[in-house]
């Protein structure tokens, strides 16, 4: 990777590092090194990065703010592209919002609420990026990204860039077309919002923030919800009913605040978390004959 690192650095595309620990870039503070770690300084440089990766046949994956992500202790082969400050553009035209994939979802929701625009209240406590939120159709409090997205600009794995409409994104519960049929990076998103009362919007956002603060362990390193809700059941309720709150393996522990969160108590490895995930799956199936699947994305070397 030394030669690739040198050539990437010469392209002046942004930050380029070798063997960067991904524990530094995930909210659960777990993850081994990426062979190459790239943080492009602009959309143009993101495109240059992808062209370079394709030309040199380098494996890659993109990350945002590192929530909803569990990275192997052994790290990741190839390149990790981080959407950071180079992709945090923001344009507002009336009630139409165009925003870069690297923009913080929480910061966006807060900023927009102050302008009296409604539609992002549900996102006030979701600690990811806009790109990640679109990629996985993030949601809470009865709403999600699919309710407000008009279209998304995608950098596809073949290096082409184009817009996908809401319908073309094929949104469903915590999924989109980008996760399987058409892999790519969310470069920008266009949201359609509505005018509302600033005080009412702020009150709704504060209520959502307070709910998360009171019920979820965001003061501890965690990845967010670990399991998808096996509707009509809820993963957290099943886990609590099974008496698994507080159960730990190594440094990984099921939160006492919310059964659908696993926290890193300080020394957790990805293997600890994976073992705890499997224990939860087995227990819930044994007790209730319900299969629960992970919502958190698990990536990296086996």
Are both 63 and 103 inside the same structural domain? Answer: no
Asked whether residue 222 falls in the same domain as residue 201, the answer is no
Own/partner contacts of 148-152, CB < 8 Å, gap of 24 or more, are 148/119, 148/120, 148/191, 148/192, 148/193, 149/189, 149/190, 149/191, 149/192, 150/96, 150/190, 150/191, 150/192, 151/189, 151/190, 152/186, 152/187, 152/188, 152/189, 152/190
> What CATH number corresponds to the domain at position 94?
3.30.465.10
Using omega within 30 degrees of 0 as the cis cutoff, is the peptide bond preceding 232 cis?
A: yes
In a shared domain, residues 133 and 207: yes
Residue 1's pLDDT band (cuts 50, 70, 90): low
pTM of the entire predicted model: 0.90
Q: What CA–CA distance (Å, rounded) separates 223 from 297?
A: 9
On whether the CB atoms of residues 227 and 247 are closer than 8 A, the answer is: no
The CATH number of residue 228's host domain is 3.90.78.10
For residue 93, what are the β-bridge partners?
96
Q: How far apart are CA 110 and CA 125, in angstroms?
A: 10
Domain shared by 173 and 199, yes or no: yes
Total count of domains within the chain:
3
Give which of 107, 21, 100, 98 is closest to 66, Cα–Cα: 21
CATH of the domain at 56: 3.30.43.10
Domain closes at, from 65, 85, 105: 85
> What pLDDT score does 302 carry?
85
- Map tokens 């524990």 to a residue: 23
Residues 16 and 81 in one domain: yes
**Residue 14 DSSP class:** E
Query: pLDDT tens digit string along 42-80?
Result: 999 999 999 999 999 999 999 998 988 999 999 999 999
106 backbone dihedrals φ, ψ, rounded to 5°:
-65, -45
pLDDT tens-place string over residues 238-269: 999 999 999 999 999 999 999 999 999 999 99
E strands present in 175-271:
184-192, 194-195, 248-249, 252-254, 262-264
pLDDT at residue 252 in the model = 98
Are residues 123 and 101 part of one domain? yes
Q: In terms of DSSP bridges, do strands 76-82 and 60-63 run parallel, antiparallel, or are they unpaired?
A: parallel
In a shared domain, residues 95 and 66:
no
Catalytic residue ranges: 174, 225, 295
For residue 276, give its domain range. Answer: 217-299
From 214, 242, 275, the end of a domain falls on 214
pLDDT of residue 126: 84
pLDDT in tens, 117-150: 999 999 988 888 999 999 999 988 889 999 999 9
Residues 232, 261, single domain; the answer is yes
Q: What is the pLDDT of residue 239?
A: 98
pLDDT tens digits for range 145-154: 999 999 999 9
Give burial (CB, 10 Å; 0-12/13-18/19+) of 263: buried
Distance CA 160, CA 157 (A): 7
What's the mean pLDDT when you consider all of the chain? 93
Q: Which two tokens stand for residue 84?
A: 């950071």
202 and 231 part of one domain? no
Of 214, 231, 260, at which residue does a domain stop? 214
Half-sphere exposure of 64 (CA within 13 A, CB side): 27
Q: Judging by beta carbons within 10 Å of its beta carbon (0-12, 13-18, 19+), is residue 14 exposed, middle or buried?
A: buried
């Amino acid at each position: 990777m030394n030669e690739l690192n040198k050539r990437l650095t010469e392209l002046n595309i942004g930050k380029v590092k070798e063997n960067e620990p991904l524990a530094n870039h995930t909210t659960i503070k777990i993850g081994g090194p990426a062979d190459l770690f790239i943080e492009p300084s602009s959309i143009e440089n993101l495109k240059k990065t992808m062209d370079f990766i394709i030309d040199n046949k380098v494996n890659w994956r993109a990350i945002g703010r590192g929530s909803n992500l569990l990275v192997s202790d052994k790290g990741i082969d190839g390149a990790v592209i981080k959407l950071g400050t180079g992709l945090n553009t923001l344009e507002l035209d009336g009630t139409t919002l165009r925003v870069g994939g690297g923009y913080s979802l929480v910061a966006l929701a807060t900023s927009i609420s102050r302008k009296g625009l409604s539609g992002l209240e549900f996102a006030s406590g979701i600690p990811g990026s806009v790109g990640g939120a679109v990629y996985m159709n993030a949601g809470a409090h009865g709403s999600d990204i699919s309710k407000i997205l008009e279209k998304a600009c995608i950098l596809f794995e073949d290096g082409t860039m184009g817009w996908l409409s809401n319908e073309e994104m094929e949104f469903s519960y915590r999924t989109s077309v980008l996760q399987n049929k058409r892999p790519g990076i969310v470069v920008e998103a266009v949201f359609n919002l509505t005018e509302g009362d600033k005080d009412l919007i702020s009150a709704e956002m504060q209520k959502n923030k307070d709910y998360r603060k009171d019920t979820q362990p965001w003061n501890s390193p965690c990845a967010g919800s670990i399991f998808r809700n096996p509707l009509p059941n809820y993963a957290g309720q099943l886990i609590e009913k099974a008496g698994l709150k507080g159960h730990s393996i190594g440094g990984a522990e099921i939160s006492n605040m919310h059964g659908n969160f696993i926290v890193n108590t300080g020394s957790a490895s990805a293997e600890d978390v994976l073992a705890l995930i499997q224990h939860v799956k087995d227990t819930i199936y044994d007790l209730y004959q319900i299969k629960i699947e992970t919502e958190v994305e698990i990536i990296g070397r086996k």
